């Protein structure tokens, strides 16, 4: 969770990042059915910048796999775009299935409820439900990405993946430290994931956001594969041990209900 303060330097930094994001989106929007490949010079002209500047933007998109160099020259859309598109297609149906249970959970525990999915090293907030004035003001809007190594949802989504795949993913990812409690050591994360799998759910305390406790459980498809996670995000100061145990019970029940609904729809 990030909160912006009103200082001039931070706002300036935010504007600069936002401008870079806008230019990246401008480049991605250049692709059409009739223009599947774009050139560096075309990007420079579109953005009104020097060709060297355009290539810096393009190289950044290549590094993050949103673009890749086309065999005959120029650039085409990369694998990350395909991953996001596949995630989006799968998520629409899931959100419609899960939202009634998410809303009921949010009202029952009076906290914010998130629905998340993972594809590769990308964890995305698919949907959320809030319980009026007690909702935690977290910054995870629909479609926003979450870190792979922090937060109850991300850890649940990793816990049921094949260990060798998970280890390769963690070795290649940038494991950022958000609080002193954030796990950034691959071995420590792997041990934590094994514990989560044994327990059937995850709890994180101030690992992503200093004052937030997260409780997440896996959602499975008709093949018993973990395809999503449902989680509660709450202010730690108002969650007693008794309340925590009750939230765990309700999150597990909600995940089971959503799993059952997915099975019915798929049958």
User: Can 8-77 and 83-266 be said to share one CATH topology?
Assistant: no
The domain segmentation of the chain, as residue ranges, is 8-77, 83-266
Specify whether the CB–CB gap between 128 and 98 falls below 8 A: no
- Please name which of 66, 116, 112 lies closest in space to residue 91, comparing C-alpha atoms: 116
Residue 5 has what pLDDT?
A: 38
Let me know if domain 83-266 sits in CATH 3.30.450.40: yes
Residue 263 has what pLDDT?
A: 80
Residue 10 has what pLDDT?
A: 40
- Please name which of 60, 57, 64, 59 lies closest in space to residue 81, comparing C-alpha atoms: 64
Cβ within 8 Å of residue 40, ≥6 positions away: 51, 54, 55, 58, 74, 75
Specify whether the CB–CB gap between 87 and 124 falls below 8 A: yes
Q: What span, in angstroms and rounded, lies between the C-alpha atoms of 97 and 258?
A: 7
Distances (CA, A) of 230 to 18, 19, 92, 212, 248: 30, 33, 15, 16, 11
Residue 2 has what pLDDT?
A: 39
**Cβ neighbours around 84 below 10 Å, total:** 17
Helix axes 241-266, 79-109, angle to 10 degrees: 120
**Cβ neighbours around 13 below 10 Å, total:** 12
Out of 3.40.50.1100, 1.10.10.10, 3.40.50.20, 2.60.40.10, which CATH number does the structure's domain 8-77 have?
1.10.10.10
Averages of pLDDT over runs of 10 residues in the chain (267 residues) are 40 48 90 93 93 93 93 92 76 84 93 90 87 60 80 94 93 90 95 97 91 95 91 90 94 96 73
Cβ within 8 Å of residue 59, ≥6 positions away: none
Q: What span, in angstroms and rounded, lies between the C-alpha atoms of 103 and 257?
A: 13
Residue 210 has what pLDDT?
A: 86
Helix axes 152-159, 186-199, angle to 10 degrees: 80
Q: What span, in angstroms and rounded, lies between the C-alpha atoms of 233 and 151?
A: 9
- Please name which of 154, 160, 81 lies closest in space to residue 118, comparing C-alpha atoms: 154
How many CA atoms, within 13 angstroms, populate the side-chain half-sphere of residue 132? 6
Specify whether the CB–CB gap between 140 and 114 falls below 8 A: yes
Task: Work out the burial of residue 59: count CB atoms within 10 Å of its CB; fewer than 13 is exposed, 13-18 middle, 19 or more buried.
Answer: middle
Residue 199 has what pLDDT?
A: 97
**Cβ neighbours around 249 below 10 Å, total:** 13
Residue 140 has what pLDDT?
A: 63
Specify whether the CB–CB gap between 166 and 150 falls below 8 A: no
């Amino acid at each position: 969770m990030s909160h912006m303060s009103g200082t001039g330097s931070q706002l300036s930094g935010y504007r600069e990042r936002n401008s870079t994001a806008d230019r990246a989106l401008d480049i991605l929007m250049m692709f059409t059915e009739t223009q599947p490949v774009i050139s560096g010079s075309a990007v420079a002209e579109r953005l009104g910048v020097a060709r060297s500047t355009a290539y810096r933007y393009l190289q950044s998109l290549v590094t993050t796999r949103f673009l890749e160099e086309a065999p005959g020259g120029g650039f085409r859309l990369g694998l990350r775009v395909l991953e996001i598109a596949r995630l989006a297609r799968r998520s629409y149906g899931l959100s419609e299935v899960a939202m009634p249970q998410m809303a009921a959970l949010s009202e029952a525990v009076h906290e914010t409820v998130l629905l998340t999915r993972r594809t590769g090293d990308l964890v995305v907030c698919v949907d959320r439900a809030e319980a009026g004035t007690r909702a935690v003001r977290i910054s995870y809007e629909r479609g926003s990405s979450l870190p792979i190594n922090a937060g109850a949802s991300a850890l649940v989504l990793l816990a049921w993946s094949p260990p060798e795949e998970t280890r390769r993913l963690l070795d290649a990812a940038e494991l950022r430290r958000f609080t002193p409690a954030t796990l950034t050591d691959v071995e420590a994360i792997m041990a934590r994931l094994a514990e989560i799998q044994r327990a059937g759910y995850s709890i994180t305390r101030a690992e992503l956001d200093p004052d937030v406790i997260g409780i997440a459980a896996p959602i499975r498809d008709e093949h018993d594969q973990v395809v999503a996670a449902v989680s509660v995000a709450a202010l730690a100061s108002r969650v007693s041990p008794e309340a925590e145990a009750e939230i765990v019970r309700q999150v597990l029940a909600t995940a089971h209900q959503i799993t059952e609904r997915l099975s019915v729809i798929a049958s």
